[in-house]
Structure formats: structure tokens, C-alpha cells
Structure 1
Amino acid sequence: MAALAGTSSQIIKVAALSGSLRRGSYNAGLIRSAVELSKVAVEGLQIEYVDISPLPLLNTDLEKEGTYPPAVEAFREKILAADSILFASPEYNYSIAAPLKNAIDWASRAPNVWAGKPAAVVSAGGGFGGGRSQYHLRQVGVFLDLHFINKPEFFLNAFQPPAKFNDDGDLIDEDAKKRLKEVLLALKKFTLQLKGNN
């Protein structure tokens, strides 16, 4: 992309999606923390939270002559305009949450607007910290032609003391913030490499 080429002020536009629609969601909290980190600690990243809650359930009857419902069209445009993607995915039944899968499927309809984009995934939850959802998302990403960073991985057990989030779902754990920053730096580096600006 020409906008990224050969300047010291390269801005990478990141579309950030949370798979949880819950008020106070820890995964949405990870996205909010990533947005804040991008402003103060990771130069060159511009992260925009993209709300997936307005999307209708996937139903191809809603497609009319190559067009989609307005909420879907707006969502697809956000993904298409992004240089890279940040997912925050809770784990449900060893997999990704239904709202996120719905969003993924809408954006994969022809033309697939995920194709060729660098991506990273983080998660918070119990036990394994949402890790199994990440592995499933990576598998889905193979078909979508998404290119996930491999390292560092970010899984956060949200329920193991000390508290990682406050009552509003905001990330308060400083070590987790440092780890999240490393993910963002890796995503930035990988995006520039894929764009030929390493």
C-alpha cells in the first residue's frame, strides 16, 4: 500500500473486533487497552474498535444483487479499509463466540475482504484464558487468507488473582498491558513486512 511506503510516519490502520457483546466484557476491555496503548506506547498504529453487534445473523436471502444490508456493508468497508486486524475472542465450547463467527462470515462473502490481511488475536477467560478459541480462529483464518502473527501469544486468565480487570471490564493488570503492547508491536512489524516495508 502506497500510504505505508518509505516514510518515517507510517500509519497502520487496525480494525479491532471483540467477539463478546457483554457489557463489561473482558475481551472488549483488551481492545480498549490496545487502543490506549496505541496512542501512548506504540507509534504508528491507529486502532479503531469495530462494533459487530448491529450485524444481522448471516442469511444469504438478505443479499440483493451483490449488495448487503447497510450494517453489513458498513462493516465490510471498515475491514476492507484496514491494514490489519486485531481480534479479541472469548472461548465458547472450545471455539470462537457466535457473534464473531457471524461477523467473520459476513465479511468473507464475495469478495472476501479479509484476504491478505495481517492479524493478531488476544483473549481473556477462565482456565486456558480463551486459548482454544484462538486456535480455532487461526484455523478459520487459513481459509480466509488471513495471516496471523505467531508470536507472542496472549492468553489471560481473567479469574485468577490478583484482579486483571476492574468492574467496568477495563484492563488494570500492568504485566498484561506489557504483554499486550508486545502483541501490538509484533503486529505492526509483521504488517510492514507484508507490505514490503521491513
Structure 2
Amino acid sequence: MEAPATPPSNPPAAAAAQSIKVAAICGSLRKGSCNRGLIRAAIEISNNSINGMIIEYIDISSLPFLNTDLEIDGTYPPEVEAFREKIRQSDSILFASPEYNYSVSGPLKNAIDWGSRPPNVWADKAAALVTAAGDSGGTRQQYHIRQIGVFLDLHFINKPEFFLHRPLAPPQKCDKDGNLIDDEIREKLKEVLLSLYSFTLRLKGKI
């Protein structure tokens, strides 16, 4: 199913009463990460201006490196089971991640791989990508995640795309703690969330 070509400025009237749960995952483990700041901003935006969208930040820092020796009789380590259950219960996914060496960050790839173990908890969910990185803004790793998503059976929104270039360079988009401080970027982030909201409901057959 294709995502909307352009995001709606507001949720459709038919969707206004529908609620969705969004699992937000940050590919950086740094406390001051601007990508983590994007998730905080997304939570604020959804709480204040997108009725029906509930975003929960899912911490991946405690996940062990993927090792199938840790799988015992179809079960996983407690941290992995808890993570997988959060993803299973969600309706859609918001990924916010830096770009490492032109590709996906190690922590995020590890989380993705744990979620893909049988049964794959990512399947048939809508997803969106936002990135804060250097000169590229994270374009390369976004497209790598989209490729991975083909196997995972994730359905990414196509528009709008969100690449935050050099967020700490003047004029700064994020402060020293990673908080998003640019109102124009915040509006672009809201557009992504609105698109994700509408596409999630479409995918679930609710609009």
C-alpha cells in the first residue's frame, strides 16, 4: 500500500476519533543526541496537537547483542521479550537515528534484528523515518533502513521526507542537550507525524 503523496494538514475528520500507538526508537544511545530530541519533540507535538496519536519512546540501550544462543525453547532474554512486546503492541513505528559510516547505527540494527526473530514483530506496521546527522542529514542510512524494511514487511510513508542537516552547526537546530529548538523544523516534524497517523489508519482499514 502506498503512503499519501502529500501529508494532510490535519487528521481526516473520519480519523479524528481513532487512536494509534506509535513506538519511537532512537538509533543513538547518547543522552544529548539530537535524534533523541526529535523523539521528545514528536511526543510533545502529538500530545498537544494530534488527537489520537500516542507516542512512546522505547529504550534499546539494554538489548544484548543478537546471539541466537540466547534463544531458549522459543523464548528470548527478558530485555528482548519486553522490547518485542512493545513493538508487537504498537500500531506503527517512528525511527529517529544518526548515520554511521553511510549506514544504519549499530544499536538500531541490533534492535531491528531482535524484532525480526520469529515471529517477526515488525510485520504489517506503518513506519516513518527522521534523521539528524552531518552534511547528508542521514539520507544514506534512511534508504538502507527502507531496504531492510522490505524483508521486515514494514510499510514506510514516502512523503514527507525528513533530513536534519548539521543540527548543531550555526544556526543551531538543537541545543547542547539535544532538544529541538527550531520552530520551522518542528513544523516539518509535525507533517511527518500527520502523514504517519493517516497512513497507519489507512493500513489498518480504519479510514
| Number of the residue aligned with 1:195 | 204
Q: Please, which runs of 5 or more residues in structure 1 have no aligned partner?
A: 1-5
Show structure 1 runs of 4+ deviating over 2 A: 6-9
CA distance in 2: counterparts of 1:50 and 1:154, whole angstroms: 20
Q: Flag structure 2 segments of 5+ consecutive residues without an equivalent.
A: 1-13
> Quick one: distance in 2 between partners of 1:92 and 1:182?
26
1:111-150 mapped onto 2 (5 Å cutoff): 111-150=119-158
- Indicate the structure whose relative CO is greater, using CA pairs within 8 Å and at least 6 residues apart: 2
- 1:22 equivalent to 2:33? Answer no
- How many angstroms does 1:88 deviate by? 0.4
How far is 1:171 from its partner? 0.3
Distance between the aligned counterparts of 1:110 and 1:60, measured in 2? 11
Are the counterparts in 2 of residues 107 and 114 from structure 1 also a CA contact under 8 Å?
yes
Does residue 191 of structure 2 align to residue 182 of structure 1?
yes
Cα distance, 1:9 vs. partner? 2.2
Do 1:85 and 1:119's aligned partners in 2 also have CA atoms closer than 8 Å? yes
TM-score, length-scaled by structure 2: 0.91
* TM-score for both structures, normalised by structure 1: 0.95
Aligned counterpart, 1:162: 171
In the TM superposition, residue 47 of structure 1 has moved relative to its aligned partner by 0.0
The one-letter amino acid paired with 1:42 is I
Partner deviation per Cα, 1:112-146 (whole Å, 9 max, x = no partner): 00000000000001101111110100000000000
**Distance in 1 of aligned mates of 2:49 and 2:135:** 29
Q: Which AA in structure 2 matches 1:166?
A: D
